[in-house]
Amino acid sequence: MITVHHLNQSRSQRVLWALEELGLPYQIVRYQREKTMMAPEALKKVHPLGKSPVLDDNGTIIAESGAILEHLQETYDTRGQLKPTDTHQKLQYRFWLHYAEGSLMPLLLMKLVFGSLGKPPVPFGLRTLGKALGEGVQKAWLNKQLETHARYIESQLGSQPWFTGEQPSMADIQMSFPVFALLARGGVDHLPNLQAWKTRVENRPAWQRAIAQGGPFALPGA
């Protein structure tokens, strides 16, 4: 039996979606974030990094959502429904699988961190300075980077409904978390193609089943 170690409001939602798309049976071990929004210590008993998602595939422990998605596709996607066969599309597939966490998520994490420097748990006496520093970094550099990335992704979805073509793939599943985060707190306006893609994701029965299994998934704004 496949077991998903699932943290609420986290990247592990992608793994549940993938399992539902593949129609695989699985069970969930649930974890709740601490007040600090960090993962609980209990996850370190599953994997030394103490992060989610972690997949236990009949005793084989796999961390990192990209590695998990590739494992599921290579092992269980016997019909090839979640990976394109066209050479160009396969290159795009590989690109988006790595881009999601390698390029986009670091910027979104910085947006979250710098936007929080004027709020608890930053000590009260440092919040004014923290807010000024955070706003300065965002205005001078970070917001411009996010704008560039958002416009690039928006243009890629202008000619096709999914990241690798006419059908969804593991690339879309991998991109779901950063795109949802980008739309929620990236601060970039007028992204109709990304909004339409998000709607297509939310309308998929497998996504809806994953939400029913994993719990509500809504990333807060900045």
Q: Please report, for the chain, the start and end positions of each structural domain, with discontinuous segments joined by +.
A: 2-82+209-214, 87-204
Higher-pLDDT residue of 200 and 30 is 200
Mean pLDDT of 2-11: 87
Tell me whether residue 83 is exposed, middle or buried, using C-beta atoms within 10 angstroms of its C-beta: 0 to 12, 13 to 18, 19 or more: buried
Is the model's pLDDT at 141 over the cut of 80?
Answer: yes
Residue appearing with tokens 């599943």: 173
**pTM given for the model:** 0.92
| CATH class, 2-82+209-214 region | alpha beta
Is the model's pLDDT at 219 over the cut of 80?
Answer: no
Is the model's pLDDT at 132 over the cut of 80?
Answer: yes
Average pLDDT, the chain: 91
CATH of 87-204, one of 3.10.620.30, 1.20.140.10, 3.30.460.10, 1.20.1050.10: 1.20.1050.10
Whole-angstrom distance between the N-terminal and C-terminal Cα of the chain? 38
Mean pLDDT of 42-65: 90
Mean pLDDT of 97-103: 97
User: Which pLDDT score is estimated for 216?
Assistant: 82
Q: pLDDT digit string (tens) for 35-52?
A: 766 777 888 888 888 888
Is the model's pLDDT at 222 over the cut of 50?
Answer: no
Angle (nearest 5°) at CA 23 between 17 and 25: 95
